[in-house]
Structure formats: C-alpha cells, structure tokens
Amino acid sequence: MPSANPMISHIRVGHGYDLHRLEAGGTGEQALRPLILGGVRLEHDKGVRAHSDGDTLLHAVTDALLGALAEPDIGRLFPDNDPAHDGRDSADFVNAAMNRVRAAGYAVGNLDCTVILQRPRLAGARDRIRANLAGLLGVDIGSVNVKGKSGEHVGPVGEGRAVEAHVVVLLVRCEAQS
C-alpha cells in the first residue's frame, strides 16, 4: 500500500553496529590486525581480532548503508569464513554498499558515528576519519560526524578488551537530472 506521505519514499534511515575484540599479541585462528578506525590507523599496544582488516567503524558504516536499503548485512554479503576476505580492506565493503545505494537511486544525506573505545582517544584522528568517510561516501565533510566515547572502565570496552561503533545514516532519493 502506498504511503499517504510522499516524502517517505524519498528518505531512508539505517543503523549499523559492530564490535571487535582487542588483544595483545598471541596466536589464533584469525590474525591480529592493527587498530584501524574509519580507514585511519591508530597507534595502540593491542590489535584487533578480525578476518578482514577489522575496521569496526567501516563495518558499522557498511551495515548502516545496507540497512537503510533493507539489503542483507555485511556478514551475509562478505562472510568471515570466506578466504577472499582475509585481510581485506574494509573500504571495499563500504564501496560495495555505496554501489547499492546509488543503484537504488539514493545518496547519503548525512552520517553520524559513535566509536566507543577506552583508549586511545579519537581526538587526534577525528578529522582524518571524517575526511576519509566523506570521500568514501561522496559527501562534504560537513555531512559526517564522528564522536568518541570511552567505556567508563565498564564491560569489555571499558576494560580495553573491545572496540565498538554505532552508525546512523540518512539516505535521500536522488532526483533525476533533465
């Protein structure tokens, strides 16, 4: 049934979430990766346990974009048991999601991100992360917000054992150019 509000079909909202373990050294099934958030490597004495490059923020961005379109999530499109994704740059996932956004006739209106990480603080990398996200999404940097929060020493994030990210994206319908 068509919506009584014609604007409804012109906007879509998506939420993305991701979490990865942080560990010091060690061996295991999956390799430890450097801490990368939003495509920016952060200096840290711990690495991320992940199959791809483990960019928690870009994984959440990918899921937000896909969610706004009611498409399958990142795990279904890029399974972590597929060797082709071992060490893969998470920007590839965002690019694939953006291809779906454009094919559906939408563009990113804005992106709001919250990264929860006890340390290191994001302040020194925030502008580089915003610029990288803006470039991946094809938007002005003013349409991208990145906030850093600590875990207040509570739970796995607060104890420095994990990093998590929440992302909300607004997609707007692109008007046909004549």
- Domain with residue 108: its CATH number is 3.30.1330.50
Per residue in 32-51, pLDDT tens? 889 999 999 999 999 898 88
Q: Is residue 3 part of a domain?
A: no
pTM metric for this prediction? 0.90
Question: How many angstroms separate the first and last alpha carbons of the chain?
Answer: 29
Expressed as residue numbers, the domain containing 73 is: 9-173
Q: Is residue 65 part of a domain?
A: yes
For residue 125, what are its two tokens? Answer: 């990398």
C-alpha span between 5 and 57 (Å, rounded)? 33
Q: Which phi and psi angles does 172 have, rounded to 5°?
A: -120, 145
Per residue in 68-126, pLDDT tens? 999 999 989 888 887 777 778 999 999 999 999 999 999 999 999 999 999 999 999 99
Q: Is residue 137 part of a domain?
A: yes
Q: Is residue 24 part of a domain?
A: yes
Note the pLDDT of residue 8: 58
Are the C-beta atoms of residues 65 and 98 closer than 8 Å to each other? yes
Number of domains observed in the structure of the chain: 1
Q: Is residue 4 part of a domain?
A: no
Per residue in 132-170, pLDDT tens? 999 999 999 999 999 999 999 999 999 999 999 999 999
